[in-house]
Amino acid sequence: MGKLLRLNMTDRTATLQDLPDKYRYLGGRGLTSTLVHDEVDPLCHPLGPNNKLVLAPGIVTGTSAPTSARISAGAKSPLTGGIKESNAGSAFAPAVADLGIRAIVVEGQPQEKGWWLAYVTWDGNAPKVEFLPADEYAGQDLYDVFPRLFERFGKVSIAGIGVAGEFLYANSGLCYEDQSGRPARYSGRGGLGAVMGSKGLKFIVVDRKGAPGVPLADKELFEQGRKKLTDALMTHDITKPKGALNTYGTAVLINIMNEAGGLPTRNFASGRFEGAARISGEALFEGNKERLGRELYNHACSPGCIIRCSNTWHRPDGTEHVSCQEYESVWALGANCGIDSLDVTGELIRLCNAYGLDTIEMGCTLAVAMEGGLLNFGDGQKAIELMHEIGKGTPVGRILGSGTATAARVLGVTRAPVVKGQSMPAYEPRAVKGIGMVYATGPMGADHTQGYTIAPEILGVSGKVDQFDRDKAALARGFLEATAFIDSTGHCLFIAFAILDIASGFEGLVEECNGVLGTHWTMEDVGRIGKEILTRERAFNRAAGLTAEHDRMPEFMKLEKLPPHNVVWDVSDMALDSVWEGY
Amino acid sequence: MLGKEVKGGTIQFECEPMETIHVEVWLYGPLARYAGEQSHGSYAELHLDLPAGSTMHHLLERLGLPPEEKGITFINGNLAALPGLEADREVVLHDGDRVGISHRKSMWPFQYRFGAGQTPQLRETFRQRQDRGIHHAYTKIEKEVENG
């Protein structure tokens, strides 16, 4: 059944409990959101003693399921004031799962100053935890700290915070190691680094040596499912070897979104950026080819990933600059800031990794700072200088570390592209209205990963398919539900690209879960389980003071026509509220 | 334009009917090579004169771009074709149009184009399909898609 590991930071004690029976079929986001809903006072201060940070591997994490090495992190968000789940791909995820830990709950708050790390090992029978002082790692660049941790502890996995989390910035993320040990994988959104920082915890270091691994209830069924999903991923043009993602990474979307007039440019003033092609996935591929003298295909972020979409950008002299330049990061720190150089976006991304910051929120904050006059759009050098101020915690740095909405308020910028206080990602809602509906209504705030796929039974029944034209709200609801399910499995969301087209892949996903848990879920359970998770998340948000009035777009998007299509946000409040029909 | 003098000393100009249209064409990734010397390596921006009445098909012929390499295509920022759903072949281009053609390793999955603009021809193509265009792949795994 697995264990709940509680790390109490008030007295630095660790408690291992059997996972309560009511949670036995939960994992990933399903488990983090349920625990936050059940145990966290929705009215608590997110940086106070009553918030909790929950880390949970997914249902199939730790097995041989492809792309399943993902960990969900959840809490009350210091950025949105509502519930937050943010997941990441890293060996950290299966390391936790291998120890039989279904969730780590970080709770309480130390009374004295000082930084700690929790060192988790297998003692032969159970996970063992030691709390060790971590002051020697505070205030430093994570690219310097991670190698020292590996040197000290050996082959371990790390989850932790950079200076951003130490400063309690709302822009701070949780950082984990990639396959080369770089501090480059993130639970980025929503300021979860600040929650960990508010509890005096700098790192969780996990050594899986000797750990028992994840048990399977039905090995044959699991294998059957695994094979179906693997086949789908290996076949589909987006996810297959040397396919779209393995060749160009997610930044292959830059040229597409730009051509579509939906690439937010210069703080969401336009949907097309004249420099977009220079910061695209194709430019990354060609640039690396020129600088290395050979073609470089992308790599896996975590064990068992067969999609391999992560890139490494190189300097003109052929040395490594940063891993990786993903679509969202390149857009936020590039097009949205009017910057068209991969060397500049590369450095800005590297600094986000070094300091422990969410690249999306950081890019949107810098764009607001540009509109607010702290620097000019396109001034990459000044942007880099400001990143260092953020890292040092100067007064301006602290303002910029607090997120897009706060920076806009301080600088008198009305054009703050946020929902529930979280900045929008790389799809302009006025040009792509369906995604806008997800930004507005989803429990996480403006978030592009919460509405990623839809359960196949919605497609199969011809009556329901007619809904697409008339009822985008119903479609949005279907997307939100199915995605909540996938977020609970431990799989990378990018399986959605393949399984939305290849039904056997979706079947395989459900069979994998049944094989691990011993359940008998069908496709219909996908929507049901998603709905249960969303219901809890919405209940938490409501109790935290977030109402239907928060499921809305910023005013400027209703008034300003976005070039090149010259469209405004005109989806009615009634249509938005009907996303939650039946809830 | 040539003017001819008419009664009363005024000059009357006669305009030729427009026989060419000017279009802006963006080619992405490996397709940039079809722009020849004007390629920037990972993309190309071309400004072409075409005969009035030219269609997408004529544009592709002019570029020498083989249909099997043509990927996601836009006309004036509206989705015009996905690989396997080439609804743009006979679309007539107009003066000032912007055409964007991507390669076969690009992507625009439904969740990222949910509610985005389409040409009337593609909209009709989607409407006639039972899946209403929610899929990404319409080529070799089409059979699986239809059975799914």
Measured between beta carbons, which residues in chain A are less than 8 angstroms from residue B130?
A: 462, 465
pLDDT band (50, 70, 90) for residue A459:
low
- Name the residue among B102, B135, B147 with its Cβ closest to that of A500: B135
A501 touches chain B (CB under 8 A): yes
CA of B49 to nearest chain A CA: how many angstroms apart? 21
Q: Which residue of B has its CA nearest to A250?
A: B107
Q: Which residue of B has its CA nearest to A255?
A: B28
- A 264-323: CB under 8 A from B: 271-272, 277, 280, 282-283, 285-287, 290
8 Å CB contact of A252 and B106: yes
8 Å CB contact of A501 and B127: no
Q: What is the pLDDT of residues A402-435, one digit of tens each?
A: 999 999 999 999 999 999 999 999 999 999 999 9
Between residues A110 and A500, which one has the greater pLDDT?
A110
CA A284/CA A247 separation, integer angstroms: 10
pLDDT band (50, 70, 90) for residue B12:
low
Contact call for residues A508 and A485 (beta carbons, < 8 A): no
Q: At what angle do helices A503-517 and A219-235 cross, to 10 degrees?
A: 150
pLDDT band (50, 70, 90) for residue A552:
very high
- For CA atoms B128, B121, A500, B104, give the dihedral sign: positive
Between residues A465 and A258, which one has the greater pLDDT?
A258
Query: What percent of chain A is predicted at pLDDT more than 70?
Result: 97
8 Å CB contact of B137 and A286: no
Identify from B112, B140, B142 which residue to disrupt to test chain A contact, counting A C-beta atoms within 10 A and taking the largest count.
B112
- Name the residue among A259, A283, A448 with its Cβ closest to that of B100: A259
Contact call for residues A184 and A178 (beta carbons, < 8 A): yes
Question: Residue B142: its pLDDT value, please?
Answer: 46
Measured between beta carbons, which residues in chain A are less than 8 angstroms from residue B69?
A: none
8 Å CB contact of B127 and A469: yes
Q: φ, ψ for residue A319 (rounded to 5)?
A: -85, 160
CA A431/CA A258 separation, integer angstroms: 11
A243 touches chain B (CB under 8 A): yes
CA A250/CA A281 separation, integer angstroms: 7
Average pLDDT on A538-559 reads 98
Average pLDDT on A238-254 reads 98
8 Å CB contact of A452 and B111: yes
CA A336/CA A267 separation, integer angstroms: 5
| A-to-B residue pairs, Cβ atoms closer than 8 angstroms | 157
Average pLDDT on A309-332 reads 98
pLDDT band (50, 70, 90) for residue B4:
low
Q: What is the pLDDT of residues A18-61, one digit of tens each?
A: 999 999 999 999 999 999 999 999 999 999 999 999 999 999 99
Question: Residue A466: its pLDDT value, please?
Answer: 47
Measured between beta carbons, which residues in chain A are less than 8 angstroms from residue B100?
A: 255, 259
Work out the mean pLDDT of chain B and round it to a whole number: 88
8 Å CB contact of A277 and B132: no
Identify from A235, A240, A253, A256 which residue to disrupt to test chain B contact, counting B C-beta atoms within 10 A and taking the largest count.
A256
8 Å CB contact of B106 and A255: yes
Q: What is the pLDDT of residues B89-148, one digit of tens each?
A: 999 999 999 999 999 999 999 989 989 999 999 999 998 988 888 888 888 654 444 444
User: In residues, how long is chain B?
Assistant: 148
Identify from B42, B126, B145 which residue to disrupt to test chain A contact, counting A C-beta atoms within 10 A and taking the largest count.
B42
- A 435-474: CB under 8 A from B: 435-438, 448, 451-454, 456, 459-460, 462, 465, 468-469, 472
Contact call for residues A364 and A332 (beta carbons, < 8 A): yes
| Residue among B69, B62, B108, B70 nearest B88 (CA) | B70
Question: Residue A471: its pLDDT value, please?
Answer: 77
| Residue among A33, A148, A34, A40 nearest A86 (CA) | A33
CA A258/CA A260 separation, integer angstroms: 5
Contact call for residues A53 and A206 (beta carbons, < 8 A): no
A427 touches chain B (CB under 8 A): yes
CA A160/CA A186 separation, integer angstroms: 10
Lowest mean pLDDT among A142-151, A334-343, A379-388, B131-140: B131-140
Q: What is the pLDDT of residues A356-397, one digit of tens each?
A: 999 999 999 999 999 999 999 999 999 999 999 999 999 999
| Residue among A103, A126, A84, A85 nearest A23 (CA) | A103
pLDDT band (50, 70, 90) for residue A472:
confident
Identify from B27, B28, B45, B132 which residue to disrupt to test chain A contact, counting A C-beta atoms within 10 A and taking the largest count.
B28
Print burial letters for A105-142: b (CB count within 10 Å at least 16), e (below 16).
bbbbebeeeebbbbbbbbeeeebebebeebeebeebbb
H-state helical runs in A293-427:
327-333, 342-355, 359-371, 380-392, 395-400, 404-411
Interface of B with A (CB under 8 A): 26, 28-29, 40-43, 45, 72, 74, 76-79, 100, 102-117, 127, 130-132, 134-137, 139, 141, 144-145, 147-148
- Return the H-helix or E-strand segment holding A467: helix A467-470
A342 touches chain B (CB under 8 A): no
